[in-house]
C-alpha cells in the first residue's frame, strides 16, 4: 500500500493534475488513505478524490444550509443543498460576482467604496422550513466541527497502523487538524511535512524517527516526491505513471 493516511490540508495542485493521477491509481485498490482538508473550495473532489475518502473539516462554500437566527445556537431545520454554484448566489449578493479590469479594484474590496447594507428580507429563506435563512455550509469562527465526521476520522485512524502521514502546504497549527499527525503516529509511522518553513531549525528539531521534512513550494515538490507513483506530467496536466 502507498499510505494509510493521506493528509492534505490545503489545495496545492490544480484539478485533474496530481490529485487525479494519484487517485486514479489509488482507486484500483482498497481505500488505504484518507484526505483531511481545511480547504472549503472543493478542489479535492474536482481533482478526482473519491468522496468517501475526503473529510472536509471546515465544510464547503458550495454547500448551502439552513440557519435559524431565532435559535440560540443558530441551528436550523437540517436542510442542506450540495453543489450550489449559482453566481451570484442571490440578487442581493450580485456585487460579489462583478468582474473588473485586472488593474482595477473590485468595489466589494475597495475600502473607499461604501457598501449598501443587505436587508435580512433579501437573503433567501430555507425552502424546507421557511423560517431559517440560507447560509454557506462552512465552519465559521466559534462554530464546532461536525462531531460525526470527527468520530469517523478517529475510528479510521484506530482501525489499523498508519504507515505515512503527508502534511502538505500547512504549518499545522489549526486544531483539530493539526493533531491528527500525532494521533496517527505509531512506532513505524513516517510523518512527511512539505511547506515553506519545514526546514527551519525549530521545525527540524521536532522531527522524530522515520520523519521527513521538505521546504519549498508544495506544488513543485509534491510532483517530484510522488513521481515514482504517478509518473511524469503530460502536457494536458495528467500523469503518465
pLDDT in tens, 65-106: 999 887 777 788 999 999 999 988 999 988 888 888 888 888
Domains of the chain in start order, with CATH, are 18-58+145-230 (3.40.50.1220), 63-138 (no CATH)
- pLDDT, residue 31, reads 56
So what's the pLDDT on residue 29? Answer: 46
Q: So what's the pLDDT on residue 91?
A: 92
> Buried b vs exposed e over 223-233: b needs ≥16 C-beta within 10 Å?
bebbeeebeeb
Active site residues: 58
CB count in 10 Å sphere of residue 194: 24
The reported pLDDT for the residue numbered 241 is: 65
pTM of the model: 0.76
Residue 148 CB burial class (10 angstroms; 0-12, 13-18, ≥19): exposed
CA-closest candidate to residue 68, choices 132, 3, 129, 137: 132
Strand partners, 125: 133
Of the candidates 2, 65, 9, 4, the residue with the CA atom closest to the CA atom of residue 179: 9
Q: Which residues contact 44 (CB under 8 A, 6 or more apart)?
A: 8, 11, 19, 35, 37, 54, 56
Q: Give the annotated binding-site residues for Zn(2+).
A: 66, 77, 126, 129
Low-confidence ranges of the chain (pLDDT < 70): 1-31, 241
Amino acid at each position: 500500500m502507498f499510505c494509510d493516511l493521506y493528509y492534505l490540508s490545503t489545495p496545492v495542485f490544480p484539478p485533474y493534475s496530481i490529485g487525479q493521477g494519484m487517485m486514479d491509481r489509488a482507486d484500483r485498490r482498497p481505500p488505504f488513505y484518507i484526505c483531511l482538508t481545511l480547504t472549503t473550495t472543493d478542489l479535492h473532489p474536482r481533482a478526482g478524490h473519491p468522496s468517501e475518502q475526503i473529510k472536509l473539516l471546515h465544510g464547503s462554500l458550495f454547500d448551502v444550509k439552513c440557519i435559524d437566527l431565532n435559535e440560540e445556537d443558530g441551528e436550523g431545520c437540517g436542510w442542506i443543498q450540495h453543489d450550489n454554484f449559482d453566481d451570484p448566489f442571490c440578487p442581493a449578493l450580485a456585487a460579489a460576482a462583478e468582474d473588473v479590469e485586472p488593474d482595477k479594484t473590485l468595489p466589494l474590496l475597495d475600502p473607499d467604496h461604501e457598501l449598501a447594507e443587505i436587508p435580512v428580507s433579501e437573503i433567501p429563506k430555507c425552502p424546507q422550513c421557511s423560517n431559517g435563512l440560507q447560509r454557506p455550509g462552512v465552519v465559521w469562527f466559534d462554530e464546532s466541527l461536525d462531531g460525526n465526521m470527527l468520530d469517523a476520522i478517529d475510528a479510521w485512524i484506530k482501525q489499523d497502523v498508519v504507515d505515512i502521514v503527508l502534511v502538505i502546504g500547512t504549518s499545522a497549527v489549526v486544531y483539530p487538524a493539526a493533531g491528527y499527525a500525532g494521533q496517527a503516529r505509531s512506532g513505524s509511522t513516517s510523518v512527511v511535512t512539505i511547506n515553506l518553513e519545514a526546514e527551519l531549525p525549530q521545525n527540524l528539531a521536532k522531527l522524530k524517527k522515520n520523519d521527513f521534512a521538505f521546504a519549498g513550494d508544495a506544488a513543485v515538490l509534491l510532483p517530484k516526491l510522488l513521481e515514482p507513483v504517478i509518473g511524469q506530467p503530460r502536457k494536458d496536466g495528467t500523469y503518465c505513471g
